[in-house]
Every structure is written in C-alpha cells, then in structure tokens.
Structure 1
C-alpha cells in the first residue's frame, strides 16, 4: 500500500492554489516593497492583499496583522515584546501546563530576566479551567498566554471565558492558535484576545511564514533591532512570496471552512470507529467534543506507541506527539499534565488528518495499525 500521511498537525502539504499564487513573486515580481520605484509596486500591493486576507480569516483589521517568519517567532514577539514594554511593577506571567515550547520557552526566558511565571494545570481532557486562571492572576501580572487548541490531543480551550477574566483585570491576553486555523472558526472579537498567533504551514501554506495579530492599543515593542518594517514590530525585508502564500492559504481556509470541518471530522471519526471496533481497550486522549476536527490521539493498550508506528512506518506516517519532540524518547508532557497513567502515555499515538486525506487511506491506515497492534500484542504476551 502507498504510505498514508496522518501527521497534518506537524505540517500540511502546500495547496496547489497557494503554489500558483507564490510563483510570480519568486520570478518576475522580485522587487523590495520598500523601494521607491516601479519594481516595488506589485510586491507592495500583494503584501497589502495578503494582510487583508489574513486579517479576514480571524476577524481582525489588516493593520493589526504582523507578518513573521514562523509561529515560534510570533509567540516570542507576543510574549517578549509585551514584557519589554511593561515596567518593574508588572513582572508576572501566566501560561498553561500544555503550551507548545514556542510559548513555554519564551516564558522561561522571562524567568531568566527576573519574572515569575505561574503554570496553571489542566484536567484529564487537557482543558484549562477559567477559574484557575483567575486564581493565578496577581496585582503584578503582565501577560497571560493560553493556547487555543492543543497540538497533541486537539483539545480546544475556553479562550473567550479566560480572556474575559484576564482583560477585566487589565492584563493582555495571548493565544497560540497555530493548530486551529482552517479547522475551526477564529474570531478575535468573539475570543476577546489581544494577541493571536498563526502558522502558515499548519493550513497549507509553506513553512517559514506566520503572523501575529496585535489588537490596536496593545502594549508591545519589537524584540529584534532593525528598520521599521511591519509597523516597527518585525524588522527585515519582507519575504513577499511567503506572505502572498499565507494570504492565499488564509483565503482558502476561510472560504472552505464549513466544508473542511465536515470533511475532517468525518475522516477522524471514521478512523476512530475502525480502530475502536478492533482494538479492545483503545483509549481516547483529549476532550471527546471540544477537540479539533482533524485530531485523534489514542492509546493502544499493552504496546508502545513508538514501536507501533515503527512497525507500520512503510504504511502510515504519524506521530506519538509533537513533531518538535520527535527525536525525544521522553514521555509526552501534555499527556503527563493531563494526569494519565504511564502505560496509557506510552501507548499513545497522534493521528491527524488533512484536507487531502481520503476515505480509502483512512481504511488502509486503520487496517495497518490494527494488524501491527495484534502482532505486537502477541509478541509481548506470547
């Protein structure tokens, strides 16, 4: 069988429409948008259109979009950029226990700079309780960052409730929505956040481009020194081809969201049903309902998830957790934060479908995983 790709939370293939939008800006429209001559015109117009399309994806204004080189850079800009503006009376941050390293590591950097950081727990589904965030707030709290949807288990956080509490205390609220765009609706006004991160390669744009939404009036400054591009928040000559790609992917994601959501959920649930029918004791990790439509994290009983995926490596491309930890043998910190037992963590596999995944691929992947689980179970127990 052909190798089935079920690792769309790690990255997605670039949409053909996105490639087509990029190509003119890799060929004839190579000008610097900051130049004063005619070669700058097409890049400048394309960047403005991409900014508008990216803003429309999340219900923002174009002037509130800052293009970055990745979601990691956007998260660093949000966290460290806000921190640099705040004075000594506001040196406390709050994050959740299941943040991506692109948030938890900048938070650790704040600690090195003398900040204190409170890490709020999650429940057995990976959800943060708004009341726990409220309890963590202090008079010196300067920033709260809670991800919109988890990259490993897909659990969606109650961001609107959390943001209402946080902003009522006059504290800026950031959410990393890298995994959410193109899978669920995002509206910064409904969410009530001040800062929101996007990652292009999670919704069919190339790697190497992201964006940070910055609500007008949010206290923030650049973390890189340079010229005044991106309203002075992200210096450096703009990567027009990548920015155009992000805008094209954002437009496609917005236009196709209802269809995509139904397609992804149907495939995810088909895969779950197939596995559940043949693997007694299969356990779902993450919230059963408040979860990304494409994400299925399950624990196979009695086996190692790593060994299971190794056994089907020529048939199924999937992961046991975040791609940034793929070479790390340590157990998932997300599942550990959820309080799951060691055996269940060890047997966990993340299966994430995408726009181009087909039903026949789902059936083939399920059959391969079931066969491998049976073979490993027999080998383990004789």
Structure 2
C-alpha cells in the first residue's frame, strides 16, 4: 500500500505526522523501511513532526516518545506546540485546524512539499458515519481523499486501505508500543460514538470495509461532478480583477448540483477559504440569485448585472486586513511597488480611498467591488490603488486563477 501511494522518486523529502498513536507510528515505521530500502535518486528523506496541543498532561510525554522513536530510526523530529485554545467553540475542530496550520508552516519552512498522515480505513468509516449523521451530501460522504492540497502542502494518506488492528499487530511483531489517547474511549466525542455504532452494525454487513468502499465510490462520483463543474466554470465565468462574472442564463440552465458546486467554489476562491458555506446558507444564496436579487455570504457579495451575476469580496470582510508590500493580502493579492514603498502597507481601498481615484469608473467595476480591493497606504494616506486606475508605479498580481482552484479543496 505504501509503494502504491508513494512511488519511487516522487518526493525527495517527505514529512511524516506522528502523534504517538498506533496508526501514525505504524506509518512512520513503514515509511522508514521503504526509505532504507531505497537510496540515491529514488530515495526519500523523511522528517518527523508531532503537534502537542497542550490539552492533556500526557501529551508532552507522548511527543518525547515519538522523538525517541525517530532518533532510533535516524530521522529528524520536531515538536510543534499549540496553546491557542480559549475554551470556546468546537475543540476538536479548533485543534484540527491548528494542527494543520502548524504542520503546514513547519513543512514550508523545511522545504517539504508533502506530509504523510496515518489515517486508516477505520478512520474513513468513522468519518463517513459522522458525516452521515449530519446529513452530508456526496462531498461529505466521500470522506477523506488519499491526497489533498491545502495551505500550499500536499497531504497524503497512504494507509486508507489499512485496518487499525492489522497495523497494531505489525507494531507488536516489531516490539513497538504506542500511546493510547484517553479521549479515544470518551463517548462525549462524536468519533467515539461512530466507532461504537460501527461495531454494532458489523453483524449487518455494514462494517469498516463496506463503508470505506462506499466512500471510495463516492469519491469517484465527486471527481465526475468536479469535472463537470470545471467545464461549466470555463464556459460561463470570467475573472475581472478578482471578481467572478457569471452568465446568469447559463448558470440557471445547469443541473442544480453543478450550479451549487460552481457557486460554492466561486465563494471559496474569492474568500480564499478552505471551507464551503453551510448547505442551508448556500441554498438561500441560490434562491436569491435565481430571483435576480443580491445577497451576501461567506465574506462575498452576489449582485445581478443585467445578463450576468457578479461575485465579489464584501468590503466588511477585509476592513481590518493588512499586509506588507510583497506579501499576500487577503490570501490572494500581492502588490509590489517602487523603491519608495518603505513605510507602506496594503489595506482595503474603502470608500475613502475610492474618492481619491478619479478614474475608477474606467475599470468598469462597481464601487462596492472596488472598495474591497487592495490599495497602498502610507501613514493613513492613499499612496496607490492599481485596480482603481491609480497605479503610480505599483503592480498587482492575483495569486491563482479560478478554474484551477476547483480541484484544490
């Protein structure tokens, strides 16, 4: 399974996320075996990373245990610590987001393009059950993909076909122990309840292998739907200075699911978000669009313009966003300027800035869209607004085109 997921020479360097649990430790040993068997141009240099969320007193000891295992395998290891929990909101979701963010930052700093994760067929089936309980559609029920690109990193799951029990048996055969997270027995967590439900459904033939296979089939369905959405995006949309202009008649003629996917992808792209709006919210936006009305969702605005629909950034969503010249602003814009850029910062143009751009109408874009565009400010004064006709030697670049973003989630 490792050989199929990681062919020789694909990754000169590979990160391995290891928590100290059985699944990730088994992944580490399998990858280390493979790396040891292949040297030279076809080899892969491994680097191990552990995230300590600081939520359990045992976490530091578990990270130290992983460090010892990595050292025994001759591999570099680093512990990343998160202390950002404020006691509010969804703890598992906050911890997961923090974990991926920390690992992505670590990988980029190390020059590592891909990180391997230890998710198994058991995780896949549990995720299916949890999302089924939430009434998820095709995307949710297709569960975890073998590969996913996010935050500039390729996340790999080479063990999705493996069972946890088999991995533990392999570790025992090596004389390797692992850490058991006590939350893995706490029914307060949805995943643990899903695990118990799977055990109860096993006699009906609805165990891990079947549900993992169903998830794989749904991933194929999702890929087909994504391809149709990509074709619709190319045929019906055009980017205009970071906005998306969509042919309304063509959009209305699409199958409902493709229309939904196209609008969801457009909102993700404009908002530079990894997440799609909630289904009910997206349905309300679709009804407003069908009725020729404006709407706001996901930090974006939808506005009918004759035969077209314009989707643009909502000014309120970027009101406090700043960046240095040359850095990404709002996750997608990069502004670079002359040597006199010292002391400048990038922030939204806003209505006050727009009033200082006499040629803004030449852009052909509405005031509301322009006011959410990036501009250059120095000591509270507008220095340049390239998208509003006030370039003054500044260049503006959009980080990624829309159709290519459809397959990155």
| More strand, by proportion | 2
Q: Which has the higher contact order (CA 8 A, sep 6+)?
A: 1
